[in-house]
A and B are shown apart, each in its own frame.
Chain A
Amino acid sequence: MIQFSNYDIISNLLYATQWTILLSIAAFIGGTSVALLLTAARLTRNTVVQKCVRLYVELFQGTPLLMQMFLCFFGLSMLGYEISAWSAAILSLTLFTSAFLVEIWRGCIDTLPKGQWEASRCLGLSFLHTLRHIILPQAIRVAVAPTVGFSVQVIKGTALASIIGFVELTKVGTMLNNATFEPFKVFALVALIYFMLCYPLSLYSKYLEKKFHVSR
């Protein structure tokens, strides 16, 4: 049997952390891209499109992320679409992230007074001009803090990818636990690493919130 020293445990966990980080970044990029498209779709005044976006949000916010992952991983491969744990994790995290971001951004856009839309129309600005010069610059300022805050949820969400066999921090944690029988130490270290990834983002989000509140 291989003996694991503390050094081995920590170095293995740190090695696995890069997959957690990579998966988080991929999910965040995927999520923001889809959310951007959906937000744009929602802003058009087509009621059918708006309903579809709402349904999408309802669907992915109202079901567990784990179930979405299972559907993407086991479900799709059962239907004949062979999919790796890596793609299934990215796909489900993208769906999950975008559904939440659309809702967050909707709130941000809705905080702007309706009068601004009307005033822009009176001034003869087109829809796209209004969006680009009036709405977005203000909405983005409001949206930055909650978006950074949500990235913490994305990082934590990646832990579920361990269940479908994606080897990241949590998975290596369970593997080390099986090898060393030191669950207390291993999972405390895993939690600590997640904390070190997430806490700075939480702090930054809090700082941004304060900064924008003061300057408003």
Chain B
Amino acid sequence: MLHFSDLLQYTDVFFSGLLTTVELTLLTTVLGIALGSSCAAIRQYGNTVSQRMVAVYVELIRNTPFIVQLFFIFFGLPSLGLKLSPWQASMIALTINLGAYSTEIIRAGLNSTPRGQIEAAKVLGMTFRQTLTRIIFTPAFEKIYPALTSQCIIVMLGSAVISQISVEDLTYAANLVQSRNFRAFESYLVTAFLYLGLAIALRFVFNQIGKRLFAYREAR
């Protein structure tokens, strides 16, 4: 039978794992979207060589499993002389992963701006930078916000894999607990629900932020 009470004494283990997962998710969200935005801008307005390079990066990441990317960065890069802690390697891998997906998402947003608006901005004497931030980026960001946030949640769920290079995240906590009390089903079930709760909480937070950011819509 199921014995969930055996897990109660490990509350702090689960909690610290949860904290690591949240910490990495938030950091990755910020860094990944920053990377994605720059890559999308390059892909859209850069020269041919840089456009190609971004395209190769995006396709390489989107067509290989995250766990292989993680292993490549953690095990592979030290042979080039770049030694990384598990935590650093995970953060880099997660950021690079989210960066590639968000590049595609953001680019779709940039493409949705009608050409006429860009021309109009030019006619009005706006500089390229002003046009980019006010005419293209802001409305594009609003349009892609839901897709971008669900990608962040997908990356958060995918981060379960980093326990494999012994980052002490939520999955690592589950493995630790089940190896101590042999209650595999219970500890993985509880962990699965913790992830579910985290996903729902993140979506709620992103929705609230979205409402704040795009509040001017309501006022109009």
Chain A interface residues toward B at CB < 8 A: 58-59, 62-68, 70-71, 74-79, 152, 155-160, 162-163, 170, 173-174, 177, 182-184, 186-188, 190-191, 194-195, 198-199, 202
Name which residue of chain A comes closest to B77, CB basis: A184
B87 CB–A CB distance under 8 Å? no
**For chain B residues 98-118, which have a beta carbon within 8 Å of chain A?**
none
Interface contact B196-A62, CB-CB below 8 Å: yes
Q: A65-B160, A170-B67, A173-B68 are in contact. List 11 more A-B contacts (CB 8 A).
A: A62-B200, A64-B161, A66-B161, A70-B174, A156-B65, A159-B66, A160-B65, A163-B164, A183-B76, A195-B59, A202-B63
Interface contact A63-B157, CB-CB below 8 Å: yes
Return the contact of B189 from the options A75, A155, A184 (Cβ within 8 A): A75
Interface contact A68-B192, CB-CB below 8 Å: yes
Interface contact B160-A64, CB-CB below 8 Å: yes
In the bound complex, CA of A195 to CA of B199 (Å)? 29
Name which residue of chain A comes closest to B164, CB basis: A163
In the complex with contacts A59-B196, A173-B71, A184-B80 CB distance below 8 A: yes
Interface contact A74-B161, CB-CB below 8 Å: no
B185 CB–A CB distance under 8 Å? yes
Given the complex, which residues of A lie within 8 Å of B29, measured CB to CB? none
Name which residue of chain B comes closest to A163, CB basis: B164
Return the contact of B160 from the options A66, A71, A158 (Cβ within 8 A): A66
In the complex with contacts A70-B188, A194-B65, A64-B157 CB distance below 8 A: yes
Interface contact A159-B67, CB-CB below 8 Å: yes
B75 CB–A CB distance under 8 Å? yes
B146 CB–A CB distance under 8 Å? no
Return the contact of B183 from the options A64, A76, A78, A184 (Cβ within 8 A): A78
Interface centre among A74, A158, A186, by most B CB within 10 Å? A74
Return the contact of B184 from the options A63, A70, A183, A188 (Cβ within 8 A): A70
In the bound complex, CA of A71 to CA of B193 (Å)? 12
Interface contact A194-B64, CB-CB below 8 Å: yes
In the bound complex, CA of A108 to CA of B203 (Å)? 23
Interface contact A66-B171, CB-CB below 8 Å: yes
In the complex with contacts A63-B192, A71-B189, A159-B65 CB distance below 8 A: yes
Interface contact B63-A74, CB-CB below 8 Å: no
In the complex with contacts A67-B192, A202-B63, A76-B185 CB distance below 8 A: yes
B62 CB–A CB distance under 8 Å? yes
Interface contact B67-A160, CB-CB below 8 Å: yes
Return the contact of A67 from the options B67, B79, B80, B160 (Cβ within 8 A): B160
Interchain residue pairs A-B with the least CB separation, the first 7: A159-B65, A183-B75, A75-B185, A64-B160, A198-B63, A74-B184, A156-B65
In the complex with contacts A64-B160, A74-B178, A188-B196 CB distance below 8 A: no
In the bound complex, CA of A156 to CA of B195 (Å)? 20
B4 CB–A CB distance under 8 Å? no
Name which residue of chain B comes closest to A177, CB basis: B75
In the bound complex, CA of A63 to CA of B80 (Å)? 35
Given the complex, which residues of B lie within 8 Å of A75, measured CB to CB? 184-185, 188-189
A202 vs chain B, min Cβ distance (A): 6
Interface contact B72-A191, CB-CB below 8 Å: yes
Return the contact of A195 from the options B63, B75, B184, B189 (Cβ within 8 A): B63
B69 CB–A CB distance under 8 Å? yes
In the bound complex, CA of A142 to CA of B164 (Å)? 38
B191 CB–A CB distance under 8 Å? yes
Interface contact B65-A170, CB-CB below 8 Å: yes
B158 CB–A CB distance under 8 Å? yes
Given the complex, which residues of A lie within 8 Å of B158, measured CB to CB? 64
Given the complex, which residues of A lie within 8 Å of B195, measured CB to CB? 62-64, 67
Given the complex, which residues of B lie within 8 Å of A76, measured CB to CB? 185
Given the complex, which residues of A lie within 8 Å of B64, measured CB to CB? 156, 191, 194-195, 198
B51 vs chain A, min Cβ distance (A): 17
Given the complex, which residues of B lie within 8 Å of A77, measured CB to CB? 184
B60 CB–A CB distance under 8 Å? yes
